[in-house]
Structure 1
Amino acid sequence: MARLLRQTLLAMALFSGGLAYGVWLSSPRGQEWLQQTPLASWSQRTSEGVGSLLPRPEAANSAAPADAVRPSNFIAAVAQKVGPAVVRIDATRTVASPLDPELFNQPFFPQLPQEFQQEGTGSGFIIDADGLILTNAHVVEGSERVRVHLLDGRTFEGKVKGSDPVTDIAVIQIEGENLPTVTLGNSDQVRPGDWAIAIGNPLGLDNTVTVGIISAVGRSSGQIGAANKRVTFLQTDAAINPGNSGGPLLDAEGRVIGVNTAIFQRAQGVGFAIPINRAMEIAERLIRDGRVEHAFLGIRMITLNPDLVARLNRDPARLSPLTVQEGVLIGEVVPGSPAEQVGLREGDVIVEIDGQPIRDAEQVQQLVDAAGVGKTLTLRVIRDGQVRIFQVKTGVLPPDF
């Protein structure tokens, strides 16, 4: 009798428009549920309609709290864990009109303002429960007002504690207590192929989550078309769009491994992030001093290779041929710089710094940065085929260099 009743109810589910319910009931899990459900319950719930034949979610989860974490994949778990600490940053700045200033002197242009308010949106993440936020310098550059929006709906007025355009790192302070924070990872341990999860506010779409892998590490600023930056980058194929700048790049455990900062304009699916170890080094100095001083020699450099050397040596205007196949050619010496003061010249080739062979311009920059301001470096240079030694004391990088 019980078996006949169950078969009848299954047929009712299939023929009353509840095909999905009928399919579920005919599945192994549905059959198991059928066997365990009392007939009295069947009769009562059948009178309520086909939909009542399925197990009731509220009954199955009645013991769980309303905010219980639902079992899910690791990406959703990371997003749920880190999302509350990711913020949207709205920065307002005054910019000059792009129109020719002379137009404003014409009688038919009196109503046009010569300046206007420009608003930009970026991302950031909370690194301290009392309201310290890490972001990109270009997100807050020139801003007169900064507003910070949290995922829970709260909005704060922010103050820029410090900004370093050279590394594109900035720190914002908001007045808060017990704010959600991120967990920092170790970017020195990141490997190509590791998972990469980005959270940010691309195109104003708050708390957007994207995922990919670490495509490469140690990308130089020259390689990504940002030669004025003094930092290496993590490369990722996680989608990073305008508005993601300043948001966190996370590993599979939800630890911050980078600060999303750049999109490669000539390709799709290629983004970059500042390694978190370097970002926090800069952030700590900004929090302490409000600014960062970078070491400076005062030279513009070109990395040599055999093909370039051959082309340069064919130039009839060149007074003496290059006699080395690799190293860094000085293309320009900045007037008044430490390099000029010790006698370095355009055309000199740097082949060694403090006993370390030099192969590219990025290596020179890294050694200068590592030395810091006011340190003396020993440069081995080839000039007119002859070896020369120069002792150069690093200066402070000018803001307009």
Structure 2
Amino acid sequence: MDANAPREDNAGGWSQFGDKPPTAGTFTRPGPVLPPPPPPRRAGFVLTRKAIAGLALAAVTALTAAALGGGAVGAYVAEGARPAPTVTTTVASPVFRTASGQLTVAQVAEKVQPSVVMIQGQNAEGSGVVLSEDGLILTNNHVVAGQGDQLTVKFSDGKTAKASVVGTDPATDLAVIRAAGVSGLAKATLGDSDQLKVGDDVLAIGSPLGLDGTVTSGIISALDRTVTAGSGGQDQQLPPGWGQQGQASETTTLGGMIQTDAAINPGNSGGALVNAAGELVGINSAVAADGVNLGFAIPVNTAKQVSEQLISKGKVSHAFLGVSVTDATGDVPGALIRQVTAGSPAEKAGLKQGDLITKIGNTAVQGGDTVVGQVRGFKIGQQVQVTYQRDGKTSSVTVTMEEKK
């Protein structure tokens, strides 16, 4: 996608959608282990971002040297880049320290694993998190997209069940499915992603490379990241030396993402990112490639808001700003407004063509993607302060988000 081209939605403006854990502990990470490449049948999503080379969605749906999202070597190349710590003395089991005491990593993993499932489709694999005892499961849209009703869920006890899609939301890359004929499932305990702090310990749990119940550990590396995701359709992307074929992809932007160095591998998409108390704080969705061990998760507060709408009405109502933006080209970073939709919240607030948006809410704007990603996380009716420059003068307005028609 040309970063300098105006971005528009059906109404003529850029599509604008949507709205701590305990003190971090220490633990020992294992040394690098390179798994064999998965079968070359998987194809799917690839992520791109100017500031982060080659992001990819983490479902086992594609294989490539620089991408993970669908089944790649990007993650285990990154894992190999992380040296194992040198242990010279006998140490206690790694722990997460919580407000009420401390739990070992093993105890947190044991608590959460029954709530995480493996999802198998016609040509993709991923993970999911149990929301209800009777089979509602939260996952990524890109895990179930194009799979129809040919979904199978595998639980932590090895049992399987057929599943159907309840609703999907491509704008936030979230989906809810329902496993048939099940009861008494262990549902996840939802945490509060707004309380996360950089440095907090986390575990990522899912089914990388089809290895269900896999646990990796790390920390929160950063918060409020914006990444741009793209669907590769039926692209077949293979490991180095296997050859590659594919076609152009479409993109969507995800804002407010949690960044972590917990290893997120192909097949982790839709799986759990949990805090030191074993509470769900994010849905693992993407990873940086090119040997960079950085993964990205959708905050659980966003996932909760979206999943509740999908369960109740099968679709999601998104907030709308009503501007077409492009990246700024001058010395000041920001998003340049190319067009304002008539009657939109942006027009009502007084924003005009040529204004340079430099901050939206509490987030500094680096480019058009930042605006899009942030607004997708806002709620309808939410009041958001937008800071902008016009003729060299900085001003701010309060915009009330409306529902996208």
Same topology, TM > 0.5: yes
**CA deviation profile, 1:251-302 (whole Å, cap 9, x unmatched):** 2222211110001134421101111111111111111111112122343324
CA contact (8 A) 2:209 2:267 kept: yes
Q: What residue in structure 2 maps to residue 372 of structure 1?
A: 380
Q: Secondary structure at the match of 1:232?
A: strand
Q: In the aligned structure 1, how far is the partner of 2:280 from the partner of 2:346?
A: 42
Is 1:84 aligned to 2:114, yes or no? Answer: yes
**CA deviation profile, 1:308-348 (whole Å, cap 9, x unmatched):** 435xxxxxxxxxxxxxx5664113557x8848988976534
Q: In the aligned structure 1, how far is the partner of 2:114 from the partner of 2:184?
A: 12
Structure 1 residue identity aligned to 2:298? I
Gaps of 5+ in 1: 1-70, 93-118, 311-324
CA contact (8 A) 2:118 2:212 kept: yes
Distance 1:236 1:224, change over 3 A: farther
Q: In the aligned structure 2, how far is the partner of 1:208 from the partner of 1:252?
A: 17
Distance 1:247 1:388, change over 3 A: closer
Q: Secondary structure at the match of 2:209?
A: helix
Q: What residue in structure 2 maps to residue 194 of structure 1?
A: 200
CA contact (8 A) 1:139 1:246 kept: yes
Q: In the aligned structure 1, how far is the partner of 2:284 from the partner of 2:384?
A: 33
Structure 2 residue identity aligned to 1:206? D
Q: Secondary structure at the match of 1:254?
A: coil
Q: Secondary structure at the match of 1:372?
A: coil
Q: What residue in structure 1 maps to residue 262 of structure 2?
A: 238
Q: What residue in structure 2 maps to residue 123 of structure 1?
A: 127
CA contact (8 A) 1:245 1:261 kept: yes
Q: In the aligned structure 1, how far is the partner of 2:106 from the partner of 2:127?
A: 19
> What is the TM-score with the length of structure 2 in the denominator?
0.59
Q: Which has the larger radius of gyration?
A: 1
Is 1:218 aligned to 2:239, yes or no? Answer: no
Q: Displacement of 1:85 after TM fit?
A: 1.8
Q: In the aligned structure 2, how far is the partner of 1:368 from the partner of 1:135?
A: 18
Give the counterpart of 2:330 among 269, 294, 309. 309
Q: Displacement of 1:391 after TM fit?
A: 10
Q: What residue in structure 2 maps to residue 167 of structure 1?
A: 172
Distance 1:224 1:140, change over 3 A: closer
Q: Secondary structure at the match of 2:276?
A: coil
Structure 1 residue identity aligned to 2:171? V
Distance 1:252 1:87, change over 3 A: same
Q: Displacement of 1:188 after TM fit?
A: 1.6
CA contact (8 A) 2:269 2:284 kept: yes
Give the counterpart of 2:303 among 279, 289, 295. 279
Structure 1 residue identity aligned to 2:380? G
Structure 2 residue identity aligned to 1:273? A
Q: What residue in structure 1 maps to residue 356 of structure 2?
A: 349
Q: Displacement of 1:123 after TM fit?
A: 0.2
Q: Secondary structure at the match of 1:279?
A: helix
**CA deviation profile, 1:18-74 (whole Å, cap 9, x unmatched):** xxxxxxxxxxxxxxxxxxxxxxxxxxxxxxxxxxxxxxxxxxxxxxxxxxxxx9751
Q: What residue in structure 2 maps to residue 135 of structure 1?
A: 139
> What is the TM-score with the length of structure 1 in the denominator?
0.59
Is 1:153 aligned to 2:158, yes or no? Answer: yes
Q: Which moves more between the two structures, 281-290 or 380-389? A: 380-389
Q: Secondary structure at the match of 1:229?
A: strand
Distance 1:178 1:265, change over 3 A: same
Q: Which moves more between the two structures, 252-261 or 341-350? A: 341-350
CA contact (8 A) 2:282 2:298 kept: yes
Q: Displacement of 1:349 after TM fit?
A: 3.3
Is 1:228 aligned to 2:252, yes or no? Answer: yes
**Which structure's relative contact order is higher, taking Cα pairs within 8 Å and 6+ residues apart?**
2
Q: What residue in structure 2 maps to residue 181 of structure 1?
A: 187
Distance 1:247 1:341, change over 3 A: same
Structure 2 residue identity aligned to 1:366? Q
Q: Secondary structure at the match of 2:252?
A: coil
Distance 1:143 1:395, change over 3 A: farther
Q: In the aligned structure 1, how far is the partner of 2:398 from the partner of 2:301?
A: 31
Q: In the aligned structure 2, how far is the partner of 1:275 from the partner of 1:158?
A: 24
Q: Displacement of 1:137 after TM fit?
A: 1.0
Gaps of 5+ in 2: 1-91, 95-103, 232-249
Give the counterpart of 1:262 among 276, 280, 286. 286
Structure 1 residue identity aligned to 2:142? H
Structure 2 residue identity aligned to 1:88? M
Q: Displacement of 1:378 after TM fit?
A: 9.4
Q: Displacement of 1:208 after TM fit?
A: 1.0
CA contact (8 A) 2:272 2:284 kept: yes
CA contact (8 A) 2:287 2:295 kept: yes
> Higher helix fraction: Structure 1 or Structure 2?
1
Distance 1:278 1:72, change over 3 A: same
Q: Secondary structure at the match of 2:227?
A: coil
CA contact (8 A) 1:351 1:357 kept: no
Distance 1:77 1:140, change over 3 A: same
**CA deviation profile, 1:195-243 (whole Å, cap 9, x unmatched):** 1111111111111111111111121236999972343111111111110
Structure 2 residue identity aligned to 1:231? G
